[in-house]
Amino acid sequence: MTNRAFPAWAGDAEALPPRPFRASMAAVSPEGIIGVDQAIPWNYPADVRRLWRLTRGATVIFGRLTWETLPRRPLRRRRNMVVSRGPVPGAESFRSVGAAVAASAGETVWFLGGTGIYEEAMDYADFLDITHIPDRVAPGPGQRAAYFPRIAPARWRAGPLIPDPDEPGVTRRRYLRRKESP
Ligand SMILES: NC(=O)c1ccc[n+]([C@@H]2O[C@H](COP(=O)([O-])OP(=O)(O)OC[C@H]3O[C@@H](n4cnc5c(N)ncnc54)[C@H](OP(=O)(O)O)[C@@H]3O)[C@@H](O)[C@H]2O)c1
């Protein structure tokens, strides 16, 4: 299959499909790690700025632990939703990703982690926006790593690899839901 099978936006890390859409966005180490001990074990400020640009005006959905790690919350200029089995003070909270999706019908939605959110969002996302971070991550004894879930090829079509023009070694890829996806 050639890249011609993909819409142009899939190969441009600054471009998005027409709204509304639902998508997951994550930065992932070579080991598939997204975080260690409630922190992100790398520092790519330009990637964070990109997240701010691309999610502006949209609804953003977090798991409770990710929500608690945000230095400033809620994220301004977007509707913030938190998924938790309990109430979350200061947040619009839902007991499942499905319930948050139902409450945001017709809106553009970004699923912003962690693991359980990305996992459940596999049923709702139109595409996955994955940033590949080159840093190798080796959690120490007693540390807890969070991982991005498996991207099943039967459900997701891997778009072209997009090198970051400014950050050496950083690449991105969009995964588009297969129309015949199970
Ligand atoms: N690299 C990245 O792009 C990225 C993105 C986001 C987060 N992170 C990192 O990932 C780590 C946090 O992720 P995490 O996976 O440990 O935690 P998380 O998903 O942020 O939060 C877990 C909590 O969220 C609730 N939850 C999650 N999925 C649920 C579901 N499907 N249904 C109902 N409730 C659900 C539960 O809350 P209750 O316990 O309240 O019921 C659960 O204990 C941190 O290290 C963070 O920095 C990295």
39 CB near ligand 1 (under 6 Å): yes
- Which numbered atom of ligand 1 lies nearest the CA of 62? 20
Q: What is the pLDDT along the chain (182 residues), one digit of tens a residue?
A: 444 589 999 999 999 999 999 999 999 999 999 999 999 999 999 999 999 999 999 999 999 999 999 999 999 999 999 999 999 988 899 999 999 999 999 999 999 999 999 999 999 999 999 999 999 999 999 999 999 999 999 999 999 999 999 999 999 999 999 987 66
Q: Which CATH superfamily is domain 19-177 in?
A: Dihydrofolate Reductase, subunit A (3.40.430.10)
Distance from residue 63's CA to the centre of ligand 1 (Å): 4
User: How many Cα atoms within 13 Å fall on the side-chain side of residue 19?
Assistant: 12
What six digits make up the tokens of 50?
A: 């990109």
Q: What is the pLDDT of residue 4?
A: 55
35 CB near ligand 1 (under 6 Å): yes
The residue whose C-alpha atom lies closest to atom 48 belonging to ligand 1 is 34
The residue whose C-alpha atom lies closest to atom 14 belonging to ligand 1 is 114
Which mutation among 29, 66, 118 tests ligand 1's pocket best, with the greatest number of atoms within 8 A of CB? 66
Q: What is the pLDDT of residue 90?
A: 83
Q: What is the pLDDT of residue 20?
A: 98
61 CB near ligand 1 (under 6 Å): no
Instruction: Count other Cβ atoms within 10 Å, centred on residue 10.
Output: 23
Q: Which helix (H) or strand (E) holds 22?
A: strand 22-28
- Which numbered atom of ligand 1 lies nearest the CA of 69? 47
pTM over 0.95: yes
63 CB near ligand 1 (under 6 Å): yes
Q: What is the pLDDT of residue 179?
A: 85
C-alpha closest to that of 166 among 8, 14, 11, 54:
14
Q: What is the pLDDT of residue 74?
A: 95
Cβ pair 40, 14 in contact under 8 A: no
